[in-house]
Amino acid sequence: MKKHENNEEPIELNTGNEEEVLEFPADEVEETSETKEAESSSDEAAETDAAETEDPEASEGEASEGNKDAELEELKDRYMRLLAEYDNFRRRTQKEKEEIYAASVAEVVKEWLPLVDDIERAVASSENMDETSVEKVAEGIKLIGKQAGSVLGKLGVEEISGKEGEAFDPNLHEAVMHVEDENFGEQQIAQVFQKGYTCKGKVIRHTVVKVAN
């Protein structure tokens, strides 16, 4: 049996033939074992690296889901705030409309109160009316009519023009009767039954008329 040059004891392997003995240096056997251990460590490191590589993606997915949930909660919060603001705006607007309407009615009534007072005085005077006071009553009624026209003017109300012989305008007049009359042309007003009025260009009431031909 020969010894290895490195003075390390050889390892004998029995091949089945007692006469033949294979000798391998001990350092080569150790190197083979170390190589296997290195390969095993390398495999474990590769698996660890693969796991670490997959973990960031999973973390990113979880982070993305978390961001979506946060955005959804933010949108819900903004929606609820907007809904509350709109509800407050609606209530405030409704209250303002009611206040404006009440103020407008009060302004109109204020203008008409003097006329109401005159009418009440005229009614009281008529209770003791005699033959000599008829003219005074008629004059009082005329004054009340003028006062009413003055109040309407202050409120921006104007009388619609509608006299006999004028052309019929469906935008301003309402025809309730038709008559054949040679004294009038086609679609002319033959008679006025009720005056109409406008307020700042808007028709409040049409003039009720009878139309000829």
Examine the pLDDT at 168 and tell me if it is beyond 80: yes
What are the CA-CA distances from residue 129 to residues 116, 122, 138, 141, 203 (Å)?
20, 10, 12, 14, 40
> CA-to-CA distance for 41 and 51, rounded, in angstroms?
15
User: Model confidence at 2, in pLDDT bands (50, 70, 90)?
Assistant: very low
> CA-to-CA distance for 143 and 122, rounded, in angstroms?
11
Look-up: residue for tokens 């406008």? 198
Buried b (16+ CB within 10 A) or exposed e, 153-168: eeeebbebebeeeeeb
Among 36-40, 109-113, 148-152, the range scoring the smallest mean pLDDT is 36-40
* Residue 41, token pair as written in the block: 């460590």
Q: What is the pLDDT of residues 19-44, one digit of tens each?
A: 444 454 544 445 445 555 555 555 55
Gyration radius from the chain CA atoms:
56
Contact present, 212 and 181 (Cβ < 8 Å): yes
**Can you give the pLDDT at residue 24?**
46
**Diameter over CA atoms, the chain:** 174
Amino acid at the residue 48: T
Contact present, 186 and 208 (Cβ < 8 Å): no
